[in-house]
Amino acid sequence: GESVGLHLPTLSVQEGDNSIINCAYSNSASDYFIWYKQESGKGPQFIIDIRSNMDKRQGQRVTVLLNKTVKHLSLQIAATQPGDSAVYFCAENLSSGGSYIPTFGRGTSLIVHP
């Protein structure tokens, strides 16, 4: 099940490196996934999404990979910058009555060192 409630794991990288943030989701019926970035004291900000009929999607400097076999998502950030420092959450969405109900993963704190 979801690991909500546990403290956040941390990933520390050097500026310019690539970052990979992982997320395990719990429900094999989830069919829509979103990565969010949350800076301290602010609400989550949409980064990129992917539907279950895809296994890869690319955005600007970000790529999301989906492995439905093992229920795993990853977010890759290229050339990480200090401004990327934040907590990153994946959210799985399960369709219910025609709408999506989101469930957030535990989150990963990304720290980028200049």
By CB under 8 A, name the binding residues for other proteins.
4-8, 32, 34, 36, 41-46, 49, 51, 89, 99-107, 109
Which CB sits closer to other proteins, 14 or 51?
51
User: Kind of pairing, strands 86-96 and 99-104?
Assistant: antiparallel
Closer residue to other proteins in complex, CB, 17/62: 62
**Least distance to other proteins from the beta carbon of 60, Å?**
15
Q: How far is the CB of 18 from other proteins (least distance, A)?
A: 25
Considering the complex, state which of residue 66 and residue 107 has its C-beta at the smaller distance from other proteins: 107
CB of 100 to other proteins, least distance (A): 5
Q: Is 104 exposed, middle or buried (0-12, 13-18, 19+ CB in 10 A)?
A: middle
Q: Tell me how far, at minimum, the Cβ of 102 lies from other proteins, in Å.
A: 7
Query: Residue 101: which of 47, 30, 28 has the closest Cα?
Result: 30
In whole angstroms, what is the distance from residue 40 CA to residue 26 CA?
Answer: 26
- State the Cα–Cα distance between residues 81 and 101, nearest whole angstrom: 32
| Residue closer to other proteins, measured from CB, 22 or 102 | 102
What gap in Å lies between CA 65 and CA 25, rounded to an integer?
Answer: 13
